[in-house]
Amino acid sequence: MAKWTMPEWMEPYRDLFCNTGGNSVEELMSDKSANVANNAVRAALIVAVRSQVGLLTGMHERGLLARDLAADRKRTGQTWGEACAGVLPPKRRRKP
């Protein structure tokens, strides 16, 4: 079984993972044997961690993580508004 390893860009977020039950993120992401029938608690921990990894991965791929936006902003000299343009939906204006 291949062991999952945390990508380097995700390392700064390691301490923010919740619902690990004291297990490492790598251990839970690599576990292919636990399921609701044989270990419901561990299966719930795995689902929680996989969803957090999936959310971070999706945000990273779209450039939505603050570190990604900050790096782009520094590289291009953009303002925060310019860096977020096209990434975040425009604010809706309320009708008076």
Give tens-digit pLDDT for 40-72: 999 999 999 999 999 999 988 987 877 766 666
Cα–Cα distances (Å) from 7 to 4, 10, 35, in that order, read 9, 5, 25
Long-range contacts: 16-19, Cβ < 8 Å, 24+? Answer: 17/49, 17/52, 18/48, 18/52, 19/44, 19/45, 19/48, 19/49
pLDDT of 89 above 70:
no
pLDDT band at 13 (very low <50, low <70, confident <90, very high): confident
Domain ranges of the chain: 8-62
